[in-house]
Amino acid sequence: MTVSLCIIAYNEEFALPSLLKDVLSQTYPKIRTEIILVDAGSEDDTKKLMMDFCEQHKNEYYKASVLDNPEKIQAAGWNTAIKYASGDIIIRVDAHASVPEDFVEKNVLTIEDGEYVCGGARPSNILDPTPYREMLLLAESSMFGSSIAGYRRKSEGKRYVSSLFHGAYRREVFEKVGGFNKDLGRTEDNELHWRIRKNGYKICQSDEIISYQNIRPSLSKMLEQKYGNGKWIGLTVGVCPKCLSIFHFVPFCFVMAVLMGIVMFIAGVCTGISWLTVPIIALLALYFLADFVMSVTAIISAEKKYPCMLMLFIIFPMLHIVYGVGTLIGLIALPFWKSSLDGSAEREIEEVKKCVAANTILED
């Protein structure tokens, strides 16, 4: 089977060289691999790195192309790649990721075994490790700091899941369900996978497949990421609430509980009713007990231990609060954001269907 390996990027000159090196080392035959690199108008050397890669290795692959994503929206970038792709299997890989040499081969074998959509676990990783980044990795790898989603850790056995990262798709899947919804920011994959399951396909997570996601290199960037993730959870409620899990709203519920507790505490102090102060005290006591236990557990599990890892006690609450506040802001902005949607995302989803079926790119 032929494979279209797709990577989109925006200002990823730091992470891209490592990923392109991984691409070159793949064991699946290059002559049956198409490389599609999509640049979203990067302001650094991302596009130059893409152009240089394709120029140097274009004779090794059956096709190697660099495309532009002028909309700068991640979902629109993936749609550009899908519309251009000619492979029997289309694989998407995030730019700030790394993949082992058998990544493409293992995905192809799983598809050839009868699956239509597949992928594997996607643990977190770091580029240029330092004690500080090792600490951030602990926070991102912990179930308490990120998510209970199984794909974030190594999987055991073959199972069917609701969503995954770095998926491989038979071409016909996009022909039937269309592309990504470009109205969505961080949740476009959740919504696509919901449509895929709605159309009768199963999403297979195989323990034979693994890839890695490079974490943000600083706490400020990680907090920015978590805020954005939370905000898009709130906004996605207005587009596809069924593609979200109750676990997506845990930080939001925590933030709301704290806000309500603070209101009751102030009311208790002002009115002299002491029992009103109990809920916030009990909530905070339980939370910080969990924070202490999960922080200690994470530090104990670390192969290398550094003093800065004690910051986890503070970082976990910061991640939860920022994510929860993001969801709150998203829900508040939802009516105004939804009223601005113009229907172009739905039209593009249908356009992807036509392009995949015809194996051509529709011109504007």
Q: Is the pLDDT of residue 45 over 90?
A: yes
Predicted local confidence at residue 150, as pLDDT: 58
H or E element at residue 304: none
Residue 362 pLDDT level (bands cut at 50, 70, 90): very low
Q: Model's pTM, two decimal places? A: 0.89
Which residues, in sequence order, are CB contacts of 114 under 8 Å at separation 6+? none
Least-confidence region, from 46-55, 126-135, 336-345:
126-135
Predicted local confidence at residue 364, as pLDDT: 36
CATH class of segment(s) 3-128+149-216+342-358: alpha beta
> What does the pLDDT look like over 276-287, one tens digit per residue?
777 778 888 899
Average pLDDT, integer, range 106-119: 96
Average pLDDT, integer, range 304-317: 92
Predicted local confidence at residue 267, as pLDDT: 80
Q: Is the pLDDT of residue 273 over 80?
A: no
> What does the pLDDT look like over 139-157, one tens digit per residue?
988 888 776 665 555 656 7
For residues 179 and 182, give the distance between their C-alpha atoms in angstroms, rounded to a whole number.
9
Average pLDDT, integer, range 183-191: 92
DSSP strand E in the chain: where? 3-9, 33-39, 63-68, 89-94, 97-98, 117-121, 124-125, 159-161, 168-170, 203-210, 212-214
Least-confidence region, from 28-32, 83-87, 320-324, 357-361:
357-361
Q: What angle do CA 334, 335, 341 make, to 5 degrees?
A: 85
Residue 363 pLDDT level (bands cut at 50, 70, 90): very low
Q: What is the mean pLDDT of the chain?
A: 90
